[in-house]
Chain A
Amino acid sequence: MLALLAKRLTNCLVLLLASTFLCYLISSVALDPRAYFEDRTPRPAAAVVDARLAELGLDRGTPVTERFGHWAWRALHGDLGRTLDGTSVNAEFGRRVGVTARLLIVGTVVGTVLGVLAGVWAAVRRGGLPDRALTLFSFVVLSVPPFVLGLLLQAGALTVNDAAGRTVIRYTGERTPGFEGGPASQLGDAAVHLALPTISVALGAIAAYSRYQRGATLDVLASDHLRTAQAKGLTPGRALLRHGLRTSLIPLTAFFSFGFLTLFTGAVFTEKIYGWHGMGSWFIESVQRGDVNAAMAVEVFSAALVLLAGLVADLLHGALDPRVRYA
């Protein structure tokens, strides 16, 4: 078991290395950090720019493989280099991951749980009003672009605030600047800021997961073992809960693990709209500026998470399904 896990991890590492190299190759070809410096006013001398780029490890004079080797060696030692501004990528990375996690984790968890429950509910009431309402809801949420949804939510918040006559719901930033108070009121302030992004993330998750869960539950509802459970004397609801839920979750393990782990790579629109400076917006900014080191940090992180998600999905599958554990 442990040996197999080690083998799987080794596979993952090889894949990670390959994807990292490819990312570096693409980034260093596509991104032009020189432009960032040359656009400054006053325009710095070419020699200064060269020196600065060499310092950052981005000098186009050295071959890309050498630059990669240099970068990878330092990355292996836990140093992801510096951004074009000269700040540490590590520090920025840590800060941004935290922001993204705070922004998205509640919404994703709430959305997943509610999505699963809604899916089960819709399947049980198949063809009924709740089912049709949920279908319509999912259809609308999934077909409306996320930024439109965000803007609509903000408009809704404005209406609420206007009606209340004061700012009940805050829709930009993580905290109110200059807000003073004890830990409790600080937490309250954070919650007020978190409300809208959480709703917008949760809505998307509910829309998507409820569809998957509905289908999986319908399969289980038609299964023989659920009928057996009822023949033993369980009411239909209890039978579904005790004998159906776990089997219906098995096909969804992959969705869940990918959904949860890719959460950390950020939600570009959500972050932009609500003015949170998380991973998603960082990646966009880095690409715009041509900041190879910062972009690489995000890319490697994403690759690692995708590989990890695959591993977690398999482990989850095995944990839920004894047929995989004991063939």
Chain B
Amino acid sequence: MTGDALLDVRGLRVGVVGAGRSPGPELVRGVDLRLCRGEVLGLVGESGAGKTLTALALLGLCPPGVEVSGSVRLLGRELVGLPVRELARVRGRHIAMVFQDALTAFTPVQRVGDQIGEVLRIHQRPRPGRESALRAAIELLDTVGVPEPDRAARSYPHQLSGGMRQRAMIAMAMAGRPDVIVADEPTSALDVTVQAQVLQALATARRATGAALLLVSHDLGVVAGTADRVAVMYGGRIVESAGTDALFARPRMPYTMGLIGSVPRVDGEAPPAPVPGEPPAVGDIGPGCAFAPRCPLAEQSCRARLPELTGDGGHFVACHRADEAAMRGSVELFPPSGYRKPPEKGAEPEPVLRIAGLAKSFPAPRGFGQWSPWRGRTNTAQHVVPALESVDLEVRRGETLGLVGESGAGKSTTLLEVISLAAPRTGTIEILGQDTSSLSRDAARRLRGAVQLVPQDPMSSLDPRMPVGDIVAEPLWVQRMPADRVAARVAEVLRLVGLGPDDMSACPHRFSGGQRQRIAIARALAARPQLLLLDEPLSALDVSVGAGILDLLRRLREGPGPSCLFVSHDLAVVRHIADRVAVMHAGRVVETGEVKEVFERPAHPYTRALLDAVSVPDPALQRTRTTVVLRGDPPAAGEHMTGCRFRTRCPVFASLRREQQKRCEREIPATLKTAVGGGRSVACHFPLTHPRDGSGQDSFPVAG
């Protein structure tokens, strides 16, 4: 490879310091990376692949208890084994890091501007004063696009929104004008709309400093749109690395193929193809290829011998069967599951869940400690945060409704209001024709069997001391089912979700994340519910594992399964699971309709913006998409506003004439059936009309 390598990593190993003489398991097992000036290298992989540890090892920031060996050369200088004092002089000035969670990565008790300015005060000589460092910090914040930079600089980290914090983190990384910026999952905890802003801030930082970027991410879409080259990690090693276009177009390692194929695409009908099995646990990797147990092409040599990373023309693969894999292609190796959509049931079926005018507010958050002299114990009207303003929803028999929106839009609150089976303060919830405000104790118990929940985090939602069989049987006991039928039903649902009868006596800790989510689904299905509520069931899982769960959920719908309310922030997932979709914004449903209709012809500007912000694992397409589609942040909880809640960020609003804007400022748009078709309703004064050209590139039309 030509070009001067800024950063040259060879044989990097990170291992746990073992007890006594035996070495502990290795987490990073020989990584080679090269980063040239001005280049963006994407490092992708699933959790446990060793991406973050690799990134930390570059700066010598690995947590205590691990040992780093191998070579990390920055500007020709070896960093591994450098004394901390020397290392400190390199960090921040030559190599800087953007951490994943900006809230915990900033010191909570110091102002953001001071923390950014500190980089200058550490490295610049003559040492700038506090005031001039702060001024420089304000300038940096302005560069990365933080609105009102001087106010942000004087704020404490918790006072900024997530997107602003992450941009401030980027400003801090670029403060020392480093040669290399390492960004560890810089967008993973953010809403898609904010994600685009942060990626743009990263690009700005790169332009301003000329730094090369190592972008660590599990999100193939983000990497596709940003990186020049991509390295794929699995089981602590690089398994494939190539130019971004080549890697996505012609992957040669079966794992890369499976990974790309398992990403649900927001822009296509083809369902994601699951990769069987799960990523290996730490220390559970044999002498051969770590992917061999999941690989459809694996043979004896794969299990016995570690494949070297070899290749030509900038495309490197660590696979014994790369040629075979390239020939067979990803569709053949990981076939999408054969799934048939159930036949249409004729006329519009009756609703199993009907929510009308549901509103809910929470008392304003009070910090820790029950009392503080800085904030009183008062709990009057202005200390109430509305989470739901007015929600109208309908889930019909046999269908899956996807509920999407940014964090804080009220998706989970809606779900919790339904599952509580209590009378809401405002509005009505009708489940299977029964109003929850007038339920008797007995009716409520029976209804509980009919409405089941699959929670978000399978790690914390299963009782760690309960055998899986009991976990799944519990809803049946509550429904007072006779013991012999319980046992039969438990075995039946476990088989349905792909678990064996032997698993019944084991406790949850024996299972991986994906298996636990299967257990949670089995528990929810046990009592043959008529309404299944799924709260972000894939968000805690890796892509390749999540694809398996998505596949399971899709197969469940082939039979006469329950109706589902599927809450997700991930529009791509919803596209592949839901029949209809409801888009929530600031406590209201702003658009509903058939999935295909809404995704291809969004009528609400917010829906459109959400869809445009979702990244797709296709470099050519993604590069044209990563423009900031929305300015600003999602409305903060408790912000008081008249008229349409979306108008401050709305691109349509900005293009309206003044007298039209007044309407948006004064009236909250009512939910109307529109002429767009497909049983669609939209809450917008100026919905988008679609002179569709099919390219997906049409700009926001200026409503007349």
Judge whether B59 is part of the interface by a CB distance below 8 angstroms: yes
A246, A315, A326 — which one has the most chain B CB atoms within 10 A of its CB?
A326
Residues of A with C-beta under 8 A to B101 = 224
Residues 260-302 of B at the A interface (beta carbon under 8 Å): none
Residues of B with C-beta under 8 A to A235 = 84-85, 88
- B91 lies within 8 A of A233 (CB): yes
Output the nearest chain A residue to B176 by Cβ-Cβ distance: A233
Of A7, A234, A247, which contacts B109 at CB under 8 A? A247
Cα-based distance from A317 to B369 in the complex (angstroms): 10
Output the nearest chain B residue to A126 by Cβ-Cβ distance: B64
Judge whether B107 is part of the interface by a CB distance below 8 angstroms: yes
Judge whether A324 is part of the interface by a CB distance below 8 angstroms: yes
**Closest beta carbon of chain B to A132's beta carbon, Å:** 17
A233, A235, A243, A325 — which one has the most chain B CB atoms within 10 A of its CB?
A233
Judge whether B118 is part of the interface by a CB distance below 8 angstroms: yes
- A322 lies within 8 A of B372 (CB): no
Residues of A with C-beta under 8 A to B92 = 231-233
Residues of B with C-beta under 8 A to A232 = 91-92, 96, 118-119, 122, 172, 176
A-B contact count (CB 8 A): 113
Judge whether A8 is part of the interface by a CB distance below 8 angstroms: yes
**Closest beta carbon of chain A to B698's beta carbon, Å:** 42
Cα-based distance from A314 to B365 in the complex (angstroms): 18
- A231 lies within 8 A of B59 (CB): yes
Contact A225-B374, Cβ < 8 Å, known A230-B61, A324-B369: no
A222, A223, A232, A318 — which one has the most chain B CB atoms within 10 A of its CB?
A232
- B176 lies within 8 A of A7 (CB): no
Cα-based distance from A262 to B210 in the complex (angstroms): 59
Binary per-residue interface labels of chain B (364-376) against chain A in the complex, 1 for a CB within 8 Å, 0 otherwise: 0111110111111
Output the nearest chain A residue to B368 by Cβ-Cβ distance: A324
**Closest beta carbon of chain A to B64's beta carbon, Å:** 9
- B122 lies within 8 A of A227 (CB): no
A1, A243, A250 — which one has the most chain B CB atoms within 10 A of its CB?
A243
Interface range on chain B: under 10, 10 to 19, 20 to 34, or 35 or more?
A: 35 or more
Residues 271-327 of A at the B interface (beta carbon under 8 Å): 311, 314-315, 317-318, 320-327
Residues of B with C-beta under 8 A to A4 = 373-376
Judge whether B156 is part of the interface by a CB distance below 8 angstroms: yes
Judge whether B466 is part of the interface by a CB distance below 8 angstroms: no
Residues of A with C-beta under 8 A to B663 = none
Residues of B with C-beta under 8 A to A224 = 99, 101, 104-105
- B123 lies within 8 A of A227 (CB): no
Of A231, A246, A327, which contacts B375 at CB under 8 A? A327
Judge whether B520 is part of the interface by a CB distance below 8 angstroms: no
- A233 lies within 8 A of B374 (CB): no
- B108 lies within 8 A of A317 (CB): no
**Closest beta carbon of chain A to B66's beta carbon, Å:** 14
- B176 lies within 8 A of A324 (CB): no
- A228 lies within 8 A of B99 (CB): yes
Of B88, B123, B374, which contacts A230 at CB under 8 A? B88
Of B90, B105, B372, which contacts A324 at CB under 8 A? B372
Residues of A with C-beta under 8 A to B110 = 243
**Closest beta carbon of chain B to A12's beta carbon, Å:** 11
- B373 lies within 8 A of A318 (CB): yes
**Closest beta carbon of chain A to B88's beta carbon, Å:** 5
- A323 lies within 8 A of B158 (CB): yes
Cα-based distance from A234 to B59 in the complex (angstroms): 12
**Closest beta carbon of chain B to A322's beta carbon, Å:** 4
Residues of B with C-beta under 8 A to A233 = 88-93, 119, 122-123, 176
Judge whether A236 is part of the interface by a CB distance below 8 angstroms: yes
- B156 lies within 8 A of A323 (CB): yes
Residues of B with C-beta under 8 A to A314 = 369, 371-373
Residues of A with C-beta under 8 A to B373 = 1, 4-5, 8, 311, 314-315, 318
Output the nearest chain A residue to B85 by Cβ-Cβ distance: A235
Binary per-residue interface labels of chain A (134-162) against chain B in the complex, 1 for a CB within 8 Å, 0 otherwise: 00000000000000000000000000000
Contact A1-B374, Cβ < 8 Å, known A232-B172, A233-B123: yes
- A225 lies within 8 A of B108 (CB): yes
- A322 lies within 8 A of B109 (CB): yes
Judge whether A229 is part of the interface by a CB distance below 8 angstroms: yes
Residues of B with C-beta under 8 A to A223 = 104
**Closest beta carbon of chain A to B654's beta carbon, Å:** 32
Binary per-residue interface labels of chain A (235-268) against chain B in the complex, 1 for a CB within 8 Å, 0 otherwise: 1100000110011001000000000000000000
- B61 lies within 8 A of A322 (CB): no
Judge whether B461 is part of the interface by a CB distance below 8 angstroms: no
Residues of A with C-beta under 8 A to B122 = 232-234
Residues of B with C-beta under 8 A to A322 = 108-109, 156, 158
Residues of A with C-beta under 8 A to B158 = 322-323, 326
Judge whether B97 is part of the interface by a CB distance below 8 angstroms: yes
Residues of A with C-beta under 8 A to B107 = 225, 228-229, 243, 247
Judge whether B255 is part of the interface by a CB distance below 8 angstroms: no
- B91 lies within 8 A of A231 (CB): yes
- B374 lies within 8 A of A231 (CB): no
Residues 336-379 of B at the A interface (beta carbon under 8 Å): 365-369, 371-376
**Closest beta carbon of chain B to A295's beta carbon, Å:** 31
- A230 lies within 8 A of B106 (CB): no
Output the nearest chain A residue to B118 by Cβ-Cβ distance: A232
Cα-based distance from A1 to B376 in the complex (angstroms): 9
Cα-based distance from A235 to B60 in the complex (angstroms): 12
- A231 lies within 8 A of B97 (CB): yes
Output the nearest chain B residue to A3 by Cβ-Cβ distance: B376
Cα-based distance from A12 to B372 in the complex (angstroms): 14
Cα-based distance from A235 to B92 in the complex (angstroms): 12
Judge whether B159 is part of the interface by a CB distance below 8 angstroms: yes
- A327 lies within 8 A of B366 (CB): yes
- A247 lies within 8 A of B108 (CB): yes
Output the nearest chain B residue to A225 by Cβ-Cβ distance: B107
Cα-based distance from A235 to B123 in the complex (angstroms): 12
Cα-based distance from A232 to B92 in the complex (angstroms): 4
Residues of A with C-beta under 8 A to B365 = 327
Residues of A with C-beta under 8 A to B97 = 228, 231
Residues of B with C-beta under 8 A to A325 = 374
Output the nearest chain A residue to B56 by Cβ-Cβ distance: A227
Cα-based distance from A243 to B105 in the complex (angstroms): 11
Residues of A with C-beta under 8 A to B119 = 232-233
Residues of A with C-beta under 8 A to B118 = 232, 234, 242
**Closest beta carbon of chain B to A301's beta carbon, Å:** 23
Contact A231-B61, Cβ < 8 Å, known A8-B373, A224-B99, A327-B375: yes
Residues of A with C-beta under 8 A to B90 = 233
Output the nearest chain B residue to A249 by Cβ-Cβ distance: B109
Residues of B with C-beta under 8 A to A321 = 108-109
Residues of A with C-beta under 8 A to B91 = 230-233
8 nearest interchain CB pairs? A233-B92, A224-B104, A322-B156, A232-B92, A225-B107, A231-B97, A243-B107, A233-B122
Jot down 12 A-B pairs with beta carbons below 8 A, ordered by A.
A1-B373, A8-B373, A225-B106, A230-B88, A231-B99, A232-B118, A233-B90, A246-B109, A250-B109, A322-B108, A322-B158, A324-B374
- B residues engaging A (CB < 8 A)? 59, 61, 63, 84-85, 88-93, 96-97, 99, 101, 104-110, 118-119, 122-123, 156, 158-159, 172, 176, 365-369, 371-376
Known A233-B88, A315-B373, A322-B156; further 12 A-B contacts with Cβ < 8 A: A4-B375, A227-B99, A230-B88, A233-B89, A233-B91, A233-B119, A235-B84, A243-B107, A247-B108, A318-B372, A321-B108, A327-B375
